[in-house]
Structure 1
Amino acid sequence: MTADFAERYGPAALVTGASSGIGYAFAEELACRGLDLVVTARRLDRLEELATRLTREHGITVTTCQSDLADPEAPRRLAEFTAAMDVGLVISNAGFGLRRAPHEAHEAAALTELLMVNCHAPSALAHSFIPRLSARGRGGFVLTSSVEGALGGPYSAAYSSSKAMVTALGEALWGELAETGIDVLTLCPGKTVSEALVKQGFDPSMLDDAMPAREVARLALDHITDGPTYISSEYYATMIEQLSALPRRQALLASAAAMKKHMAARDASLFRRGPDWSCLAEQRD
């Protein structure tokens, strides 16, 4: 399986958002499968630590590239940076969410950054790399979306709508590239144990439905030929199926009520712990 995977998707893979969370886990999983890596994120120190460890443990080549995908030119520069490399797999994973709150409570600049990272970057990366994958006649493109993209998310309006765009983009690319030798998979995780979860105000220790990032990445790669979309959590797959069966208005009202309950519990927990509100800051990886 590992040799077949490396033959189809190697010799090199690009992973965005690789300094933590699911992106970090994708890099680990791909290293185990024998692919050389190009890892990119804003935090170069973390990338270099990751590269050193994966090179030592797996004997692969790991190239780091500091990049901020909120910059509209960043995807083009990534394509140029990797121009001489035989990249057979692109993991468009970088993304972030904001704290759960009414849409108008967020800073306009944060909303703009979210749209650039979550929406513009995967579209621009696909535009740059699909011709290269097509020329090879084999390879893959994985986009990390979210189960929140399946339905407008009250109190998570910007994030859920951005992930709806990612899901639609992935489905469209899957249809365009069917039978070309290029596999397209849109990964839709549920809650995943990561820094991003904490930044959005969740306590992972209190969530039985949160999955380890490494498991999410492994399952996505195992199901890369099962596109167009893959929900890595059975719990959330069932939830989405149930919500989809409801009239849209009813599903949205139920989602709004559940989110209000979560926000109240979150804020009460923070009040009991003291004045450290850092986990609710509008920050990203």
Structure 2
Amino acid sequence: MKPEEFRETYGPIALVTGASSGIGLAFAEELAARGFDLVLVARRTDRLEALAQRLLSSCGVKTRVIGADLSDPDAPARLLEETEGSDIGLVVSNAGFNIKGAFESKDASAMAKMLTVNCHAPMQLAHGFIPRLKARGRGGLVFTASVEGLIGCPYSTAYSASKALVVSLGEGLWGELQGTGVDVLTLCPGATESEATANMPSAANLQSAADVARLTLDNLREGPTFVPHQHYRDMFEGLRTMPRRDALTRMAQSMKDLA
């Protein structure tokens, strides 16, 4: 898709949640470079304000900052209310976090908070924005899931379960929205350069957040799911062709070896 066609289809405004760091920040930067005005959403508004100033200076785009903690179940409704009347053509539901380690050792309240951010927020945002996108007759939804949502991942059990919901949500909506002009893509990245991986010097096959964002937008019409790194495409395609018991046993052992 040519740049002008991309902006005509998904512009003039894109909304990005979790835009203060990592893949969300990279989405904001890539969309600004493509000429989109932005609505940036995150808890850390100081970072968003600094980003907004930088994107205005470098790309000349208008940016609106909305502070929101998506672990609050009411936050998506307030976000929908605050954007009523804005001509948002692309929604990037990216906010999320993970919890790794033996399932029973993790804090139950932290897992509940993770489900609210990773599952409740994208579902409610999609429910609110889809009628607006359909009324426009064009637009897009991007959900950030994970390759860990493609199969249950031992020692990342709650996180992979939350991302499995996102994968199913995106796939179901991709099917429902065929013929409406609204494209849906569920992003399933592997290990990505971020604040979390900065302290993991042994991490292999890291992909830059900028590459993840660029490739995702370039493949927005190639749904329902997209794995941006060849290593992880091959790995998880291989795991899903194995007998499930064998795949899970292998994954559990490899995670134990890393512990």
Q: TM-score, normalising length from structure 2?
A: 0.98
How far apart are the structure 1 equivalents of 2:23 and 2:152?
A: 23
1:211 matched to 2:184: no
How far apart are the structure 2 equivalents of 1:244 and 1:157?
A: 17
2:148 corresponds in structure 1 to: 148
**Aligned-pair CA distance for 1:104:** 1.1
Specify every segment of 5 or more residues in structure 1 that has no aligned partner in the other structure, as ranges: 264-285
How far apart are the structure 2 equivalents of 1:141 and 1:197?
A: 26
1:244 matched to 2:245: no
Q: TM-score, normalising length from structure 1?
A: 0.89
How far apart are the structure 1 equivalents of 2:13 and 2:49?
A: 17
How far apart are the structure 2 equivalents of 1:158 and 1:140?
A: 28
**Aligned-pair CA distance for 1:138:** 0.1
Contact preservation (8 Å) 2:171, 2:186: yes
1:136 corresponds in structure 2 to: 136
**Aligned-pair CA distance for 1:187:** 0.3
1:227 corresponds in structure 2 to: 223
How far apart are the structure 2 equivalents of 1:171 and 1:241?
A: 17
How far apart are the structure 1 equivalents of 2:96 and 2:69?
A: 11
Q: Secondary structure at the match of 1:206?
A: coil
How far apart are the structure 2 equivalents of 1:40 and 1:196?
A: 19
1:10-29, aligned counterparts within 5 Å?
10-29=11-30
1:1-285, aligned counterparts within 5 Å?
1-98=2-99, 100-198=100-198, 203=200, 205-263=201-259
Give every structure 1 segment of 4 or more consecutive aligned residues whose post-TM-superposition deviation is greater than 6 Å.
none
**Aligned-pair CA distance for 1:196:** 3.2
How far apart are the structure 1 equivalents of 2:185 and 2:241?
A: 24
How far apart are the structure 2 equivalents of 1:125 and 1:59?
A: 28
**Aligned-pair CA distance for 1:94:** 0.3
Contact preservation (8 Å) 2:197, 2:203: no
Instruction: Tell me the alpha carbon deviations over residues 25-55 of structure 1, each in whole angstroms, 9 at most, x when there is no partner.
Output: 0000000110100001010110001000001
**Aligned-pair CA distance for 1:208:** 3.2
Contact preservation (8 Å) 1:96, 1:196: no
Which amino acid letter does the alignment assign opposite residue 142 of structure 1? V
Which amino acid letter does the alignment assign opposite residue 90 of structure 1? V
How far apart are the structure 2 equivalents of 1:121 and 1:74?
A: 8
How far apart are the structure 1 equivalents of 2:207 and 2:34?
A: 21
**Aligned-pair CA distance for 1:174:** 0.1
How far apart are the structure 2 equivalents of 1:72 and 1:208?
A: 35
**Aligned-pair CA distance for 1:69:** 0.4
How far apart are the structure 1 equivalents of 2:137 and 2:224?
A: 19
How far apart are the structure 1 equivalents of 2:97 and 2:125?
A: 17
How far apart are the structure 2 equivalents of 1:147 and 1:43?
A: 27
Aligned length: 258
1:280 corresponds in structure 2 to: none
How far apart are the structure 2 equivalents of 1:37 and 1:108?
A: 35
How far apart are the structure 2 equivalents of 1:34 and 1:239?
A: 35
How far apart are the structure 2 equivalents of 1:231 and 1:179?
A: 24
1:272 corresponds in structure 2 to: none
How far apart are the structure 2 equivalents of 1:261 and 1:140?
A: 41
Identical positions, percent: 56
How far apart are the structure 2 equivalents of 1:116 and 1:250?
A: 31
Contact preservation (8 Å) 1:26, 1:214: yes
